[in-house]
Structure 1
Amino acid sequence: MEYYAKSKKRKLSEEEKEIIKIKLQCFLLNYSDLLSEKEKRIVNNGIEKLNIEAEGEKQKRLKEHQDDIVKCAEMFFLQYGAYFTEKEKNLVIEACRIHDLGKANLLFQMVVQPKLKMIFKDDKNESQIPHGFLSAISISEEEFLKWSELFEKEDFSPFITAVYYHHDREDNYESGEIRKYCKKYYQPYLEEYCGREQTKIYCRNKNRLLFRNVSNKSKFEVAPEIWNEYLVVKGLLNKFDYAVSAEYAEAECVSDLQDKKLKKNIEQVFSGKELRPAQKYMKDHKNDNVVVIAPTGSGKTEAALLWLDGEKGFYTLPLKVSSNAIYDRIKKKYFYEDVALLHSDSMSKYMSEETEDIQERYIRSRMLAQPLTVCTVDQLFKFVYRALGTEVFAATLKYSKIVLDEIQSYSPQVIATIIYGLKMIQDLGGKFAVITATFPPVLSHFMSLYGLSDGKEYQFVDFSKSSINDEESLRHWIKIRKTEIDIDEILEQGEEKKVLVICNTVRRAQEIYYELYKRNAEVHTLHSRFVRKDRAILEEKIKEFSESPEDTGIWVTTQIVEASLDIDFDILHTEMCSVDSLLQRLGRCNRKGRYIPEKANIIVYDNRNGVGSRAVYEEEIYNRSIKCLKKYENMLFTEEMKTAYINEVYDIDAIKGTKYYMEIEKYLKLFKEIRPTEYKKIAVDKEFRNIESITVIPDSIYDSNQGFLEDGIEVLKTAYIGPEVKNIIRTKITDLTLGMPIYSARLYAVDRGCIGQSGTKRILHIHRIPSQYEFDVENFSGRGLILEKKEDEAIFV
């Protein structure tokens, strides 16, 4: 019989097409005013596609599918083969060749060929054994060793594990059960498919697996080099399988290895100008792992891009909004179109652009297929948790360079994840560059403990000292006050200057904003308790305000402006916080060194807001930060002083007993001992966020958009609506929402039922909240979501 790789795509009836067309036409008619011209075109294209009678799809045969994946692998190695050994290339190609052999079992073929159910009626309700498991027991170690003279016995376990678990399936099957299944449903058909008799099954291969996907708390004891070999084979097998299944011939998009377009475009922009020290250093050390301290305004973004030197790269930042800003900068300033954006809201960003190939670009960014991707770290470092399905990230980083911007901004848990991940990347052969305004000694301490030493695994250079005599670096003068924020002083300064106020909690930001607003100040506020569309408006507004020479006034914000927005104010009033956050906040004031201050332009309020248990800042680090800051009061605060300041706060001996230090230590130990399958891929996302949260929509927003929400959800529930249309609707709906921790939600009358519930299936995970919401889109005023009770402020920053 014929053997196929997957089911044939179902063809819609005329009646089904008509139902879908009517729904889309009604949606377009009713909500045309909410859609951009581009979005209207996409919906109309969705309707037009239904009018075109598609030719009957050819169902792909199993042999053709296997050949396509092998070809995809071979084409990949033509581009990126220099990053892999000959053994690694052969292991990957052989895994691609045999990974789907298990699909030649009768029960799988009955699923992809429903007509077979009429022939084998007695077997149609039998349960399948996953085809990956069958593929892995279809070859012997002896046969494996004959495939290449480079293969050794030690390679068999990582190879067979990669094939066995190329899909994430629980393994509750005993050898006897598998033998019985194979005798009836697999061996006779495998013989027919392969065209040879006496095809054996090797259930003993199960004993050679590196791990089993079962509930087992046994210690993880696999040598790092064996684990890395598994990561490469499994990760690339998944990468090529995903690409071919999505009907792409190649796993990677156009490469910049030969043309080096981005590098050339940057050099063209800098033509006639001398590169700054950090930029020249990173350009000259493109073949090294580096940790570079470069102050704000030293061109470290361009330094990192020059270091990439056309190789496949990932540029990571702490926040989505800062990722968006760097992505725009690369596209618009350096005219580089082959850059992708990857974070949880990247579709929304793609929707705002002029290009039409939104879905294509989104899919390829999710597949890590572009030569340069700007992203948040949670998108890449999941492989540290050894969850099935995360191997593709490690394998991709083997032939890539990764840039980590402002590493000190992360929580101790994420810092530990990055340090452990960088060691794995270095062992695999990938390269990293840490570029930061500050680099606390505690980070180099832990990097050294885990095998990343200065001068050996990476090169360290500090450019903050070299800028001490540079007038542009003399930007800040600090005054400390042990009081609450001075409203009167801010009002007076706001009449003639640009004044930025940064609070540690949303509650305090709302209170300060409201006090200023009641006194008729020219004031706006920006924090995380605005729905997405309003927050996006405010982010653009604060950037416009910052760039306008004539505008004066006041913006009251939270930590979200620390490293995410390229803004420059004249005066900063900030609540005291941890040293790393404080130095980031300083970068929002006199950022471009427009003047040398002769008196305080940074007012720091030591009021302990947001400090302590369940708060934003750990008390011990806060206390050390304020204590060490006092020696720099009432003087120009140079870049060299800032480095000395953060080094003193994070002195190894002084902070060993702090929660900050012990958290990093705890997670590094966890990653060393963690067992594969201990975490599921979906659970890793929660670990990165380190908090349980839900998506909410304020009642007032829901009420004013009820028709759109209900009709939009109805379209989302409709089968066979194109992904482009669904993405438009889903993005429009999520733009009306914001995130909220479950802890806080329990304090409020949050509707625990989901908007968009369809039976037991959830179309969207959105809950209603009755709290007041303020925002006036005409004058950009309002406090956002107002929570009167004392909630966990740590998430709303």
Structure 2
Amino acid sequence: MRDIMECLRAKSKNDETKNDKSFLLKDHLKETVKRAVSLKEFIERNREAMDYKKFNDEFFEDLIIACFLHDLGKINWKFQLEVFGRDEKEYDKSSGDKSELNSISEFFKGFKNIEIKDHELVSILYSLIFLDNDDSAKNIRSAILLHHYNQFYVNKEMGMATILDEYPDLAKYIEFLIAKENEIENLLREIIDYIKTDYKLKNDTQVSKIFDKLANNITFKRLEELKKHIEKEYSISTKIQMFTIPDKEDKNFYDFFVFLGCLRRCDYSASGNVEIESAKKLAEEVYNDLNNRIKEKINHTKELWQEKILTENDAENLVLIAPTGSGKTEFALLWAKNRGKKLVYTIPLRAALNDLYERFGGKDSQNKGYFYSADNNILRILHSTAFLEYLKEEKDGKPLDIDEKQTTAQLFSSAITLTTPDQVFLSSLKYYGFDKLLSIYPLSSIVIDEIQAYNPEMAAVIIKTMEIIQQLGGNILVITATFPPYFKEFINKEKDFKIIDLKAYENKSEVKNYKLMRHRIEVIEQNLFVEVPEKNKKNSEENEESAENIHEKEKRDDIYQITGAKEVIPLINENQNKNILIIVNNVEKAIQLFKLLENDDNIKERVKIKDGNEDVYLLLHSRLIEKEKSRRIDTVKRTLNSEKKGSVGGGSASVPVEKRSLNNEKKGMVLISTQIVEASVDIDFDMLITEISPVDSQIQRWGRIYRNREKDYTEENPNIYIFAGIDRGTTAIYDSRVIEKTVEKLKDKRNCVLNYENERELIECVFNEKINGKTLKEEYIEEINKNLEWLKYYSTEKRGEAQRVFRGIAGVQVVLPALMKASNDPVEKKLGQILDER
């Protein structure tokens, strides 16, 4: 019979693993332990930047032990049978006693009828061979139990008596362990020796001590005691204890989930054969000479305004309020450099991610970005569905395959990650899998680029997550041109945030776009679109609006009538030489308006750009595939600027770019878009035509106009045209209360030329307007506080429980996940997906 250690598997053999034998259990355990050691080394290398006190020797001793124990439950006949393919089983039949499967069969002789579908339950039994019931042992066992999704995450008490009720064959497995004591002990010692002798681990004195201690602690007496208590049905849970997750947060709650997240990251990165963290000392190898690199990119030799402010006002948690296009991104990078941690940079719109990735990383060695790396291992872009999609692991009880585990393991593993807020700021819902995020927070400085005026439910989720990040030693920087007033109640000095408002900065003239008079607005008091009634409407009772009906209706081609066409078309034709941006509030509107303009003989050549022999259509919305969306944005930017020019404020680099040609070069372009260009997309148009939206959203849209200019806007005609009519397509995604007050205040600014401070005042005015005796600001604060109270409870499962809790925090307002999933806002869209019932 072959050595059993050389036969037992952790996963199926495939083309990727058949040569390196990483499918074997001994190798997976070894690689998982090595990831724990790598994580420890990364933290030690960057220790001066880390504020999370729990990352100590005891933490990593427990983590290494958990990594060793977590998959021992795969020493199970049924599991082993599943990971051998049909061809291998046929081969084993002809190979006799020397075959792997026959050796495993012999090992389990007399104990093959044990039915335990979740191997993590069996791993808990193995922990009793090595560990007693102290606090560390309890944490380790609970983490092992939850390292795969099972019913004990929320629905069941994590006590051994309850577990045995659900998995009665565990009692049979205990009998197997006791009956095979000598063989099991020899196997476990052999695995320990194998791990200890790995070239990376054998010189690590802490690892050697841990495994020596484990080997010395081996005993089957605790299993025998447990067996006796099971037979007597007496005090079973006292013999194998676990950490009990409380219903409400306490000081141990998040620490436990950080530990679980680290275990799962080690497991996934070992399975995917990828590194868990960069081996770099971040301050010296990632952020080194960043100031000079920024100055070089923006053609600026003097001290930057960002440097001056950080010298005087740096803090672990900051809010920077500054104009669009002023160089807030560069401020964020310099702030992150001062922190010395991993940087997670979030921007609200996916369309901006690729642009930022190129800006940070550069295209090649000739056009280097701020963090250009020849081996490309510093910077990673994490698209908006990537992290939460890994929850597919639990779908139908099927585990992720190796490719999925590899992709998942790499999430947030880079020194710098660019992503959307929905990937980072939903962890306060405590869905299954949020632990991985929690384990990243202590290592990270997190930037929120443009915190938006979310509804009270979403605002509460984000605020609560920010509290968690701070509690775990992570750092937060909010950079925004439009800081919603109600956020000041929750993001302030009392919450350990320093607010830097450039309004109080003495040298405002150094800041690009601060004093510039950029925008003259006109309010058109009508709808740009009117919804077309559905044909053959039934009675109103049969046609009550539901999320599903809305979703189906959006597929129609004739949802809207473009009632504002008689204003839009003349505006375009009267401004032949100007580049015009049109922003509407949903995809269907954008598509219908594009079709109208494409069929207009005077405009059709302005809504496409010739790229070689191919036409690039000037239409942007969220349903375009990412590659095409990025191509269109890139083409627009190249057409707008044949050569980007640097400025004192920051922003664009002086890099020659290839010029694209309009089909009719005598006229300016007309770009039709949804909100995907609203923030963080560095484009500079001459004129905007837009639907109404909340005041902060409006100002973000205006920020794409007259963005990189040196002189005030002095033309008599407006460069901002706002259709103030409100339709259901608009109120479906925006708070109607804010919309109505926004319209009122914008009317007062007709034909006024506004600078940044004027626009900031608009936001304050809107949220200080009263409705039913309370200001909008007060209404939002009250609703957010109510929602924050609900979020204190640990009761949110991945989907079903999250939906129940979120409906609870919304009070009488019904939250429709299907409608949220159709939202243009990526955070709300992803939240809807989490809340949607399985």
Q: TM above 0.5, one fold?
A: yes
C-alpha contact (below 8 Å) 1:385/1:679 kept by paired residues: no
Q: 1:459: which partner in 2?
A: 498
The structure with higher relative contact order (CA 8 Å, sep 6+) is 2
Structure-2 change in CA distance of 1:303 and 1:99 (3 Å):
same
Matched, 1:563 2:679: yes
Matched, 1:302 2:330: yes
Q: 1:760: which partner in 2?
A: none
C-alpha contact (below 8 Å) 1:110/1:116 kept by paired residues: no
Distance of 2:489 and 2:301 partners within structure 1: 37
C-alpha contact (below 8 Å) 1:606/1:626 kept by paired residues: no
Q: 1:502: which partner in 2?
A: 583
Displacement of 1:421 after TM fit? 0.9
Uncovered stretches (5+) of structure 2, i.e. residues with no partner: 84-99, 157-161, 190-217, 227-235, 363-368, 388-402, 529-563, 608-617, 644-664, 808-814, 823-828, 834-838
Displacement of 1:305 after TM fit? 1.1
Matched, 1:136 2:145: no
Amino acid at match of 1:175: L
Q: 1:251: which partner in 2?
A: 276
Q: 2:102: which partner in 1?
A: 115
Amino acid at match of 1:623: E
Q: 1:767: which partner in 2?
A: none
Structure-2 change in CA distance of 1:477 and 1:99 (3 Å):
same
Candidates 595, 601, 608, aligned match of 2:718 = 601
Distance of 2:307 and 2:479 partners within structure 1: 11
Candidates 200, 204, 211, aligned match of 2:222 = 200
Candidates 470, 477, 490, aligned match of 2:571 = 490
Q: 2:523: which partner in 1?
A: 480
Candidates 145, 155, 164, aligned match of 1:175 = 164
Amino acid at match of 2:474: G
Displacement of 1:649 after TM fit? 2.2
Candidates 364, 368, 374, aligned match of 2:412 = 368
Displacement of 1:625 after TM fit? 1.4
Deviates more, 1:594-603 or 1:427-436: 594-603
Q: 2:196: which partner in 1?
A: none
Distance of 1:306 and 1:179 partners within structure 2: 55
Amino acid at match of 2:758: M
Structure number with larger C-alpha Rg: 2
The alignment's TM-score, normalised by the length of structure 1, stands at 0.69
Q: 1:414-448, CA deviations, whole angstroms, 9 ceiling, x for partnerless residues?
A: 4322211111111111111111111112112244x
C-alpha contact (below 8 Å) 1:384/1:417 kept by paired residues: yes
C-alpha contact (below 8 Å) 2:273/2:406 kept by paired residues: no
Structure-2 change in CA distance of 1:523 and 1:530 (3 Å):
farther
C-alpha contact (below 8 Å) 2:268/2:408 kept by paired residues: no
Q: 1:758-779, CA deviations, whole angstroms, 9 ceiling, x for partnerless residues?
A: xxxxxxxxxxxxxxxxxxxxxx
Q: 2:4: which partner in 1?
A: 2
Displacement of 1:590 after TM fit? 0.2
Deviates more, 1:325-334 or 1:78-87: 78-87
C-alpha contact (below 8 Å) 1:481/1:603 kept by paired residues: no
Q: 1:62-84, CA deviations, whole angstroms, 9 ceiling, x for partnerless residues?
A: 45543433332223212213332
Distance of 2:135 and 2:219 partners within structure 1: 29
Displacement of 1:581 after TM fit? 0.9
Structure-2 change in CA distance of 1:262 and 1:573 (3 Å):
same
Q: 1:672: which partner in 2?
A: 792
Structure-2 change in CA distance of 1:316 and 1:554 (3 Å):
same
- What is the correspondence of 1:345-384 to structure 2 with a 5 Å cutoff? 363=407, 366-384=410-428
SS at match of 2:754: coil
Amino acid at match of 2:414: Q
Candidates 200, 222, 226, aligned match of 2:252 = 226
SS at match of 1:224: coil
Candidates 143, 152, 160, aligned match of 2:141 = 160
Q: 2:192: which partner in 1?
A: none
Distance of 1:285 and 1:187 partners within structure 2: 64
Amino acid at match of 1:578: P
Structure-2 change in CA distance of 1:198 and 1:464 (3 Å):
same
C-alpha contact (below 8 Å) 2:353/2:418 kept by paired residues: yes
Structure-2 change in CA distance of 1:414 and 1:324 (3 Å):
farther
Amino acid at match of 2:445: K
C-alpha contact (below 8 Å) 1:73/1:240 kept by paired residues: yes
Q: 1:440: which partner in 2?
A: 484
Q: 1:90: which partner in 2?
A: 61
Give the CA RMSD over aligned residues: 4.0
Deviates more, 1:292-301 or 1:107-116: 107-116
Displacement of 1:341 after TM fit? 0.6
Candidates 332, 342, 354, aligned match of 1:312 = 342
The alignment's TM-score, normalised by the length of structure 2, stands at 0.66
Structure-2 change in CA distance of 1:425 and 1:8 (3 Å):
closer
Structure-2 change in CA distance of 1:609 and 1:186 (3 Å):
farther
C-alpha contact (below 8 Å) 2:10/2:71 kept by paired residues: no
State the number of aligned residues.
Answer: 627
Displacement of 1:293 after TM fit? 0.8
Q: 2:544: which partner in 1?
A: none
C-alpha contact (below 8 Å) 1:547/1:567 kept by paired residues: no
Displacement of 1:285 after TM fit? 5.7
Q: 1:203-237, CA deviations, whole angstroms, 9 ceiling, x for partnerless residues?
A: 5269854558xxxxxxx534432111111210111
Distance of 1:231 and 1:70 partners within structure 2: 19
Uncovered stretches (5+) of structure 1, i.e. residues with no partner: 13-48, 146-152, 213-219, 348-358, 448-452, 696-738, 744-797
Displacement of 1:101 after TM fit? 3.6
Structure-2 change in CA distance of 1:407 and 1:140 (3 Å):
same
